[in-house]
Amino acid sequence: MKFKMLTLATASLLAVSAVSAGAAKPVYGDWGYDAKAMDSSVKPGDDFWAYVNGSWDKNTQIAADRASAGPFVALSDKSEADVRQIVEQLASDPNRDHLGQQVGDFYSSFMDTAAIEAAGTAPLKPYLAEINAAKTRAQLLSLFVKPGYAAPIEIGIDPDFKSPDVYATFAGQARLGLPSREYYLDDSAKMKAHRAAYRDYIVTIEKLAGMADPEGSADRIIALETELSKVQWKAADRRDIDKIYNPMTRAQLIKLAPQFDWNSTLTKMGLGNSKTIIVTEPSAVAGAGKILASTPLSTWKEWIAFRFVSDHASVLPKAFDDARFAFYSKQLSGVQQQRERWKRGVATVNGALGEGVGEIYVKTHYPAESERQMKELIGNLEDAYRERISSNQWMDSATRAAALEKLAAFEPRIGHPVKYIDYSSMKVVKGDPLGNAVRAADFDWKLQLKRFPKPVDRTLWGMFPQTINAYYNPLANQITFPAAILQPPFFDPNADAAANYGAIGAVIGHEMGHGFDNQGSKFDPKGKLRNWWSPEAAKSFGTRTDTLVQQYNSFKPFPDLALNGKLTLGENIGDLSGVEAAYAAYKKYEAKHGASPVIDGLTGDQRFFIAYAQAWQEKQREDAERQQVITNEHSPGKYRVNGVVRNVDAWYKAFNVQPGDKLYLPPEQRVHIW
């Protein structure tokens, strides 16, 4: 199980400020910030995000094919274009190697819409026939375990939380057709509208696929998923490591949910030797078992058939693809226009052959200098964390020593894996996009099975080099920064040091902070789930984090919807820790190179905080933001800024924030963790 940042990640800075005389100009503005984005009519202490980004917000239009706008989207667009060049060249290159054939044919098959239209629903027939042939629950269970088919529970392989050097079998609740349980159970007008649209979508998909009784089937499917949603866990509880670590023997699992015929199910999946299964949401698995038994076999067949068609709509005729877009993108997220086919083709290839594409991407889009500078900045952040932990007054000496030990064991990984996945055994057939998608899922599962009996390979990556993101993995105590994030607007070698520390330094600090957030702090230096905290230190930590929860609970993006401070706590701790550590690292930089000059009337400290806020420029469509607030562990960008700076003493001094300002907190109410 990996904790992944779903936002921007890393970069570094030069040894001296790049805005000194003779330096090349930054991509953004005079020192790494576009001053036209600012709204000087807003008082920094009232709404710092709007002060930095207000004009950008007013003048920015969200692209018709996007749910949001901001630096993350801009850089994602660039990465897409870079990958497009790679896959289109491979699609037409007669001298390509085997990997090139796989990438090129996978992409060209997805792009050949004329052939997809001509094939119609014929590619679906063998899969739907297999579903229709199931006459017993045992045969239904055999379908649930096949890659490409949906199931009411999810079974997978990940490192064992308490023995992170070995893999374990995990079982837990599975994804439903709507984003979360709230979409089934909330009686607000908006959620009722989503459910009505979901019913229409099911009817449309089933009619297109030629299924019997689409209207009745849609009602039965929604009733089934509603019952499943009632037993599923809330998102905040699923973030609690202690709650989701429930190892069970085979006998205990059979007692918990005998309806799943675990001996046969695990054997068919290739996991017959699994003696212990870690159940992440026991009550949800037990509930799903009861629903499996009480729901007619015919309804389950309707459900799995609908899900198969819906999940593969992008490789079916346009009517299927358009229907899926209209519901999942337009209805649920407010996106107005389907993305161009090539963009979705790039995403599809990345999903199936991502490291193969990444290996090619790194050769042409990852300068070695980026890696050198990254190591320098990470070192500065490590020093800052070490000093802050060492001077921490709320921890006892034993817990402080354990925290320093964990920090010393951090493993930063930059750019790309040291070795790439071997895709040579994946069969890609030109002209068979649906088959390619199913075979890709099968390849991925067999790859996991091949690793399962072996010790955990710490060199594996959970993201591709071309991904605009970063993550912390507590089971390996690793922070990982893919190559694609190491470019403007998040890292600019010609930007001011304050800009690089405030923007990317804070994001790197965020990932490091995950090692000490409310969940990451439960893992020791080797990635083992183990309590290394004294009761007194744990209590002090809890007092601070409880205050942070209440602060974020008070933010209301919409009159009827507030943030969930418990759900977002880990990311909020990462944000706050990252800013404070990055600021401390910036002060170390100034101590070595001299105080930063005033640029454009702004001190170095002011530029630091402005750059941080600029990194979180984000504008979302209402439905997309609502979905994020309900389901996602990350707060929207505005609150990742305002929720953090009001706790940082240096921000108050930099912008002369005083009592009476809307973001002002008295010193005793400010949260300082690391």
pLDDT, one tens digit per residue, over 77-95 is 999 999 999 999 999 999 9
Mean pLDDT computed over 193-207: 98
156 bridge partner residues? 170
The domain segmentation of the chain, as residue ranges, is 3-60+368-410+487-669, 151-338
Residues 506 and 514: their CA atoms lie apart, in Å, by 12
pLDDT interval class at 187 (50, 70, 90): very high
Per-residue pLDDT at 563: 98
- Classified by CATH at the fold level, domain 151-338 comes out as Neutral endopeptidase; domain 2 (1.10.1380)
Q: How buried is residue 493: exposed, middle or buried, by Cβ count under 10 Å (0-12/13-18/19+)?
A: buried
Q: In what order do the strands lie in the sheet with 276-279?
A: 153-160, 163-173, 276-279, 247-249
Tens of pLDDT, residue by residue over 525-551, are: 999 999 999 999 999 999 999 999 999
CA 355 to chain centre: 17
* Contact yes or no for 355/485 (Cβ under 8 A): no
Peptide bond into 26 cis (omega under 30): no
Per-residue pLDDT at 10: 27
In the 8-state DSSP scheme, what is residue 419?
S
Per-residue pLDDT at 19: 42
Mean pLDDT computed over 279-307: 98
* Contact yes or no for 504/12 (Cβ under 8 A): yes
Question: What is the pTM (predicted TM-score) of this model?
Answer: 0.93
Least reliable range by pLDDT among 99-108, 118-127, 476-485, 524-533: 476-485
Residue type at position 646:
R
Residues 619 and 407: their CA atoms lie apart, in Å, by 35
Residue type at position 109:
S
pLDDT higher than 50, residue 4: no
Q: How buried is residue 462: exposed, middle or buried, by Cβ count under 10 Å (0-12/13-18/19+)?
A: middle
Helix axes 433-451, 98-111, angle to 10 degrees: 140
Residue 124 CB-half CA count within 13 A: 27
Per-residue pLDDT at 373: 73
Tens of pLDDT, residue by residue over 568-579, are: 999 999 999 999
pLDDT interval class at 23 (50, 70, 90): low
Measure CA of the first residue to CA of the last residue in the chain; give whole Å: 25
- Classified by CATH at the fold level, domain 3-60+368-410+487-669 comes out as Collagenase (Catalytic Domain) (3.40.390)
Residues 601 and 318: their CA atoms lie apart, in Å, by 55
pLDDT higher than 60, residue 7: no
Residue 660 CB-half CA count within 13 A: 3
Name, in order, each residue with C-beta under 8 angstroms of 276's C-beta and a sequence gap of 6 or more. Answer: 168, 169, 247, 248, 249, 250
Residues 196 and 182: their CA atoms lie apart, in Å, by 14
* Contact yes or no for 548/32 (Cβ under 8 A): no
- DSSP 3-state of 176: coil
Among 35, 54, 43, 52, smallest CA distance to 656 is for 43
Tens of pLDDT, residue by residue over 134-149, are: 999 999 999 999 999 9
Per-residue pLDDT at 600: 93
Tens of pLDDT, residue by residue over 582-637, are: 999 999 999 988 999 999 999 999 999 999 999 999 999 999 999 999 999 999 99
Residues 156 and 2: their CA atoms lie apart, in Å, by 13
pLDDT higher than 50, residue 11: no
